[in-house]
Amino acid sequence: MQERRKFFRLKKRLKVEFKIIIDKFASMVVPPNISYTDTISGNGLTLLYSKTIDKGTKLEMSIELFDENKTKVELAGEVIGYNKIDTNQFEIKIKFIDIDEKHRDKLVGYLLKESVKNKRTRK
């Protein structure tokens, strides 16, 4: 039986900065990788990226919301899989493994507002 999602998923392009976590910490001297989401929810996201990232890899991430405050949601995620979608393009599937509930609430609130906005513009 398939597990039901706890949060709805929204197709939304958001900027994500991320670093690979090695030995519990991400390197402070290596600049972050920058990419964009394809879909996102309160529990995870699908990242569009030019390379594969191995399943089980842990990432330190910062997601920029396009709200009035340019809120950044800081969290840790784990790669649960990937799909090749083009020659140099992959969908990296990531579940959130460490996110402050305040940040999750901001993210979910933002996604709900965006979902309502999208429904209004389709009519």
Encode pLDDT of 2-36 as tens digits. Answer: 555 567 789 999 999 999 988 766 667 678 999 99
Query: In terms of pTM, does the model score above 0.75?
Result: yes
Q: Tell me if 5 is assigned to some domain.
A: no
- What would the mean pLDDT of 66-84 be, rounded to a whole number? 93
- Quote the CA–CA distance of 55 and 123 in Å, as a whole number: 40
Domain interval for residue 17: 10-118
pLDDT the model gives residue 101: 94
Assess whether pLDDT exceeds 80 at residue 118. Answer: no
Residue 112 scores a pLDDT above 90 = yes
Is 3 a domain residue?
A: no
Number of independent structural domains in the chain: 1
* Burial grade of 20 (CB within 10 A; 0-12, 13-18, 19 or more): middle
